[in-house]
Amino acid sequence: MASNGYRNGTGTNKGAIKPLASSNIRSSSFKSRLPPSSNPSTGSALRRTSSASFTTATGGDGVPGRVRVAVRLRPRNAEESTADADFADCVELQPELKRLKLRKNNWESETYEFDEVLTEFASQKRVYEVVAKPVVESVLDGYNGTVMAYGQTGTGKTFTLGRLGEEDTSARGIMVRSMEEILANVSPETDSISVSYLQLYMETIQDLLDPANDNISIVEDPRTGDVSLPGATHVEIKDEQSFLELLRLGEAHRIAANTKLNTESSRSHAILMVHVKRSVLGEEVAIPSESDKSSHFVKPPKPLVRKSKLVLVDLAGSERVQKSGSEGHMLEEAKSINLSLSALGKCINALAENSAHVPIRDSKLTRLLRDSFGGTARTSLIVTIGPSPRHRGETASTILFGQRAMKVENMLRIKEEFDYKSLARRLEIQLDKLIAENERQQKAFDDEVERINLEAQNRVSEVERNFTDALEKERLKCQMEYMESVKKLEEKMIENQRKHLHDGFMKDKCNGEGPGFSEDIAEVKKLLEKETHMRKEAEKEVNKLKSQLGQHMDAGAGGDAEILKLQIALEDEVHQKKKLEEEIIILRSQMLQLTFEADQMRRCLARGGSGNAYPGLDSPMSQVRESLSGNKTPVSALFDQVGVQKILDLLESEDANVRIHAVKVVANLAAEEANQERIVEAGGLTSLLMLLRSYEDETFRRVAAGAIANLAMNEANQELIMVQGGISLLSTTASDAEDPQTLRMVAGAIANLCGNDKLQVTLRSEGGIKALLGMVRCRHPDVLSQVARGIANFAKCESRASTNGIRSGRSLLIDEGALPWIVQNANNDAAPIRRHIELALCHLAQHEANAKDMINGGALWELVRITRDCSREDIRSLARRTLNSSLLFRSEMRRLRIEL
């Protein structure tokens, strides 16, 4: 039976609860320890003890026990989901840290710690286990135990304590579960359980098991301080069924009593007392024998009856009475209710602060609960709160009550601030710095490029100059050499000719012929050969020069490599610059986002109403109003600065944070009609559809779907969405998403498309209608409302087309099996859902081809109901007209004898 640290029971140190002997169970009650005069010698010490005793005894781990306090948050109800749709809850729970943050405003919150923090998803089983089970276990061990629920009306006190869970056993509350546990652990032969069930209203105790018994008095045992109600009915409980019947009976009497007194049960305290009597055997006592000290005589164990009491209190609503506008008798009543509740608060304060006086006698409630404050009782308090920011004040005071019960001095408060203005300032300064830095770098970069260019040019021209000089020199040298050789050759020739003439003369002189002539010829040949050789040499020289020229050219190429290096550096710089520009865009878009949020907030505060960022899910009126006012919002101004294309480029950034940020900015911008055209023109719709297709996490999907829903308000965009395959994409998302907010966006987008006459057929063929209907699996009222709107839009287009003779035959909605859901929800509690469905039914009924299916599906009854109950006159008369103009409906109504 041992349970976790929530239990504070069985330690053996001083002041701890010891296994009980029947006689001292109630010996350390509240009264016996207070006031100090009752025990003058140890006044202040006793006061401390009394405080510790309210907080029950010492825990097994040596930590002094105290009232254990859990806080439980009720989920949003349908009304809050609609009315507070655009507002965050006033609290944020951190169950793993056992912390609760209470929002003061958008930027500030206060943090509180509790023994348990139960979120709106906490199951009844878990609530029982952490709040009541340890108390029930100690009641079974013989201690008194109390579980109280405190909180504003409607926050779930009765849900937590009193639900019977007849249809669904998982919904059973603490009362039923406690009894189940007690029954499972007692033995029917030796133990007994009895129950009284009471209501405390205007300081009068009524018996809920016997309504005639309406003024029960509290009796206190002056010796033990024990509290009892001898006048109350005690019913013996044998099994769970009889207990459930008893609770049902009590509840019926409670309603009857409250009707008689013209009050509501939320104004009274309901108290269930479970008395447990268990037979236990005392310890065997060994008595030393007189004659022989070594042998022992063992006295048989004494049968004992262990009595304990479990008190479960569903307290009256803690709200301030002024708020509900009570007057006259109501004020008296308010005082009495407040008397008990405020006395309870005062006692808790006094005990928490070790105050000398604890005003226990000030009210019947505190007198009745004095046992719970006694040293032998273990007490758990569950404070229940709602999420609505409209009741922040009540929620705060409930939380403080719980905190005080935990002893105020232990309270942990963490103050966190989010100062939007200074963040915006910081971002602006950072942006300025980055812009300045960028300008500096740009300047340095341009200078560097210029310098490098100049240097490269200088080098190139130097190389060219050197090369030209060298070439010229070589050319001159060659020319000179060539001319010299030619000159030498000419001289040689003249010499030879002269010689030849002379030799001829001599030869003529001496027989005309001789070997001298052939020698000359050989000589000339030699000279020619030499010339040829020199010529070759010169050619070689020219080739050499050419190759030198080549080498110079290579040197030029070396210059090119240098330029290449410089070019790479240049590219690096360009890359750097681009990155800096990107950072500036991101910062600007962050500014954009922040400004957008501030703008939303400002508008919202100014209107005192909705700050909906997704007008695509509602009427476009607010938006029209905005654009008519003609003022350019700061967002649009920033949008102009940054440029749509740059923001869309960020959608493809490598950094996921940047991407998500960008998609949020696009979604926010798409909320304004003025921006939509630019977004679509720049390819934003395509990018958003791509994101939806290649989604990587839910936030992307949700935000992208929201942006698409906004764009889908516009007729031209609706067709674009269809052309780009958006319908089947939205349908796929509708079938595999689970997050209600994503589904709400998708349903909103499809609902907008349903209002376009040209898309009807494609919507069906690409699975849009099936997808819309499929989303009702998520029971979230926001999603259902969008589904209903889509159905109404679709039915309206169909009925228009039928009237204009463009279409005939049964509605596609009926073909797709929408009728049963429509009929089921025609009288939905949530007004927006009901209104859309009522309109859808009227549109469907306008076409005779649907009448047969509607009659068979029960829609006729709903239409008849609409003609009678609908709160809107125009819808009532539309329904009546529609029914009267249909032959089939008229004859069916005649058959059923229904008259409109």
Would you tell me which residues interact with ligand ADP (CB under 6 A)? 74-75, 77, 151, 153-159, 266, 317
- In the complex, the smallest distance separating the C-beta of residue 123 from ligand ADP, rounded to whole angstroms, is 9
Q: Which is nearer to ligand ADP, 30 or 159 (CB)?
A: 159
Q: Which does 75 bind (CB under 5 to 8 A by kind): Mg ion, ligand ADP, none?
A: ligand ADP
Q: Tell me the closest approach of the beta carbon of residue 89 to ligand ADP, in angstroms.
A: 14
β-bridge partners, 298: 286
Nearer to Mg ion (CB atom), residue 160 or residue 742: 160
Nearest to 221 by CA among 71, 31, 383, 357: 31
Q: What residue 155 binds from Mg ion, ligand ADP, none (CB within 5 to 8 A, per partner kind)?
A: ligand ADP
Cβ-count burial 763-773 (b if 16+ within 10 Å, e if not): bbebbbbbbbb
Residue 154: contacted member of ligand ADP, Mg ion, none (CB under 5 to 8 Å, by partner type): ligand ADP
Please, which residue, 65 or 173, has the CB nearer to ligand ADP? 173
CA nearest neighbour of 790 among 805, 807, 775? 775
Task: For the CB of residue 118, give the shortest distance to ligand ADP in the complex, in Å.
Answer: 8
Q: Quote the least distance from Cβ 200 to ligand ADP, whole Å.
A: 15
Closest to ligand ADP by CB, 80 vs 798, is 80
CA dihedral 355→357→359→360, nearest 10 degrees, is 90
Q: Which stretch binds Mg ion (CB under 5 A): 150-158, 303-311, 335-343, 521-529?
A: 150-158
Q: Does 268 bind Mg ion (CB under 5 A)?
A: no
If contact means CB under 5 to 8 A according to the sort of partner, which of Mg ion, ligand ADP, none does residue 846 touch? Answer: none
**Which residues, other chains included, contact 537 with Cβ-Cβ below 8 Å and sequence gap of 6+?**
none
Cβ 341 to ligand ADP, closest distance in Å?
13
- Minimal distance, residue 314 CB to Mg ion, in Å: 6
**846 and 882 in contact (C-beta within 8 Å)?**
yes
153 has binding-site annotation: yes
Q: Which span (156-164, 202-210, 369-377, 638-646) binds Mg ion, by CB under 5 A?
A: 156-164
Residue 265 C-beta: closest distance to ligand ADP, Å: 7
CB 4, min distance to Mg ion, A: 28
Two tokens, residue 300: 């048989």
Q: Considering the complex, what minimum distance in angstroms separates the CB of residue 309 from ligand ADP?
A: 23
| Whole-angstrom distance, CA of residue 383 vs CA of residue 412 | 18
Which stretch, 155-163, 611-619, 799-807, 887-895, contacts Mg ion (CB under 5 A)? Answer: 155-163
Q: HSE of 876 in the Cβ direction (CA atoms, 13 Å)?
A: 9
| 58 or 155: CB nearest Mg ion | 155
**516 in a known ligand binding site:** no
Q: Partners of 100 in the beta sheet?
A: 93, 112
What is the rounded distance in angstroms from the CA atom of residue 300 to the CA atom of residue 283?
Answer: 8
The CB-of-390 to ligand ADP minimum distance in angstroms stands at 15
Residue-by-residue DSSP string for 846-892: TSGGGHHHHHHTTHHHHHHHHHHH-S-HHHHHHHHHHHHT-HHHHHH
User: Would you give the DSSP letter of residue 130?
Assistant: I
Q: What DSSP string describes 654-715? A: SSHHHHHHHHHHHHHHHTSHHHHHHHHHTTHHHHHHHHHHT--SHHHHHHHHHHHHHHTTSH
Site string for Mg ion, 101-140 (x = CB under 5 A): ----------------------------------------
204 is in an annotated binding site: no
Q: Is 882 in the site for Mg ion (CB under 5 A)?
A: no
Maximum CA pair distance of the chain? Answer: 192
Q: Residue 259 or residue 891: which is nearer to Mg ion going by CB?
A: 259
> Which residue's CB is nearer to ligand ADP, number 7 or number 391?
391
- Burial-class residue 300 by CB neighbours within 10 Å (0-12, 13-18, 19+): exposed
Using alpha carbons only, how large is the chain's radius of gyration in Å? 48
> Is 154 flagged in the annotation as binding?
yes
Which residue, 361, 365, 188, 202, is CA-closest to 279?
Answer: 188
Cis peptide upstream of residue 35 (ω within 30 degrees of 0): yes
Is 157 within any annotated ligand binding site? yes
Contacts of residue 628, defined as CB under 8 A and 6 or more positions apart, other chains included, come to none
The partner in contact with residue 718, picked from ligand ADP, Mg ion, none with C-beta cut-offs of 5 to 8 angstroms by kind, is none
Q: Is 468 within any annotated ligand binding site?
A: no
Q: What angle do CA 138, 141, 145 make, to 5 degrees?
A: 35
* 487 in a labelled binding site: no
Piece of 69-77, 83-91, 157-165, 657-665 that binds Mg ion (CB under 5 A): 157-165
Residue 609: name its binding partner from ligand ADP, Mg ion, none (Cβ under 5 to 8 Å by kind).
none
For residues 797 to 816, the per-residue mask of contacts with Mg ion, x marking binding by CB under 5 A and - elsewhere, is --------------------
Q: Smallest gap, in angstroms, from Cβ of residue 709 to ligand ADP? A: 29
- Is the CB of 323 or the CB of 440 nearer to ligand ADP? 323
Stretch that binds Mg ion, among 149-157, 182-190, 303-311, 451-459 (CB under 5 A): 149-157
Nearer to ligand ADP, 9 or 156 (CB): 156
Instruction: Retrieve residue 367's tokens.
Output: 């007198």
Shortest distance (Å) from residue 72 CB to ligand ADP: 7
Answer with the entry of ligand ADP, Mg ion, none that 74 interacts with (C-beta below 5 to 8 A by kind).
ligand ADP
Among 255, 271, 274, CA closest to 263: 255
Q: Which residue is nearest to ligand ADP (CB)?
A: 156
- Residue environment code for 188-218, b if the CB has 16+ CB neighbours within 10 A, otherwise e: eeebbbebbbbbbbbeebbbbbbbeeeebee
Q: How far is the CB of 159 from Mg ion (least distance, A)?
A: 8
Q: Choose the stretch contacting Mg ion; rule: CB under 5 A; options: 158-166, 227-235, 502-510, 668-676.
A: 158-166
User: Residues 527-531: contacts with CB within 8 Å, 24+ apart?
Assistant: 527/489, 527/492, 527/493, 527/496, 531/485, 531/489
Note whether 308 binds Mg ion by CB under 5 A: no
> Which of Mg ion, ligand ADP, none lies near 65, with the C-beta cut-off 5 to 8 A by kind?
none
- What residue type is assigned to position 18 of the chain? K
The encoded tokens of residue 235 equal 């019913």
Partner in contact with 835, chosen from ligand ADP, Mg ion, none, beta carbon below 5 to 8 Å by kind: none
Closest CA relative to residue 809, chosen from 875, 861, 868, 764: 764
| Cα–Cα dist 707/710, whole Å | 5
- Cα 50 to its chain centre, rounded Å, is 44
Q: Is the dihedral of CA 182, 184, 190, 192 positive or negative?
A: positive
Rounded distance between C-alpha atoms, residue 618 and residue 625, angstroms = 14
- Is position 155 annotated in a ligand binding site? yes
Question: Which two tokens mark 96?
Answer: 């793993």
Which of 50, 152, 158, 850 is close enough to bind Mg ion by CB under 5 A? 158
Question: Residue 889 binds which one of Mg ion, ligand ADP, none, with CB within 5 to 8 A depending on kind?
Answer: none
Instruction: Show binding-site residues.
Output: 151-158
**Known binding-site positions for ATP:** 151-158
- The residues binding Mg ion (CB under 5 A) are 157-158
